Structure 1
Amino acid sequence: MKNKILNITLVSIMLAGSCLVNVANAGYIVNGGKDNFINNGVITTEYRADGTVWEWLDLTVTNGISYNDIVNDLTDDNKLNASVTFTANASFSSNIAALSTTDALGWATVSSNDLAAMFSRFFDGEYISGNTYTGTSLSASSSDIETFIGLFGDTLHEGSSDPANIGQTWGATSSYYNSTYIYSGLVYDYQSATKDYSDLVRITSTYTATSERADIGTWLVREAAQVPEPASIAIFSLGLLGLAASRRRRSV
């Protein structure tokens, strides 16, 4: 009997510890903005206010490969695994081939409106779909722009020479502007010792679904899980502790 009570108590303590961890995770949602985006290597995890958790794939993984090729690769087996023939050169497709089985599974393309909404969440509601933010119209600091590029991948530095103090995250969306062009999303950080260039956050329509540019990838996202409710876990844990205490009193 004592062993059973001990086991119940230990389980309760473990659940209570889990509750504290989940409270910490929920803190990302409370903070808002860029604090809700966590760097996990080639994947950036986003904790949303509705309790869902989403993952964004680093754009350097799909950099240099056309949007159409990415869609074809995802369609055949729901994996990003270079299972179709890419028209891009091998140096780009090797980034996809290097993904683990877990990291390759379940990705979906992103519409321009959904991408604009993510921009808005990251930059604290500032970005509005259809608008271009440059210079003084973009109140986000240069460090915010650099944080974004660090999280989602610097497609410019990977795909070309490494110019000093310049970086960009640029990727295709699933939304078509017309029969030829699709929308793409761009976050650009441009600083120079001789000229003050503006940072840039923009949805643009200057990219085609068959283009293979060495500085543009494809935006991909997947839902990971929902954030557990810490209060529910705490109540359940306290209930188990109460049950253990009650049984102990009866056995005395």
Structure 2
Amino acid sequence: EIGIFVYISMFFGWGMGLASNPQYMVRILAAKDKKTAKHMILHALIFLCVLYFALTQIGLGLRILFPQLKNYCSADDVFIYAVVNLMNTPFSGFFLISVIGACVSTANSQLHLIGCMLSYDVTAQITKKKMSEEQILILARVFIFIGGTAALILSVNPPEDMLSFGADIWGLFSAALAPLIYGGLYWKRRTKAGAVGAFFTGLICSVLFWKMDLRIYWAFPATLCAAAVYVVIPMFEKKRGAEE
């Protein structure tokens, strides 16, 4: 059984991990100024907390009202099953279309991010010869095709527990990227060395803590370790500069 502390600390999986999604960084960079970016992040966190709290309550309510659900479907499919079989209203189709629309929107953002980052931010930066816009566009299409094909192959044989799998993926994002994103926006003493150290600390701690038998969700201590490195390294740099 999963303890209450695991449920609470899983916020650093679905919560902070989702809020550290690279596709959201594109929105942050597109903000007209720093103030707008800060407000956007805070409002997004509030919105996500409210939304996921509502979804949690709906899921718990369905388990109480329809205890037989666990005999017909897994936790991943409970909402779809409830809409199709338990909500015989004219709005059932609307709910299903909403789910499909959300999936298409997310896939569109992720594939767009894959194409842009791997073509412009990675390939175009490491090649010695300057690439034209047409070449970058072709590369972006190739990477989008590769990413979409990989996702399609994964969907043919998905993990047994998609919710836990998703939480682990977002937990990795939380440990590796959350300190960088929010520290970069809200901490004035940030440094490049601290960001690099925090990133690799998050990755290493994620690998170390992932399979450990902890009483809390593994992404929580991994994110704390990365945040600590993000803060400590600039302090050492400042101390070294003062001594010199």
Band of TM-score, shorter chain: under 0.3
User: Could you tell me the TM-score, scaled by structure 2's length?
Assistant: 0.25
User: Could you tell me the TM-score, scaled by structure 1's length?
Assistant: 0.24
Please say which structure displays the higher CA radius of gyration.
Answer: 1
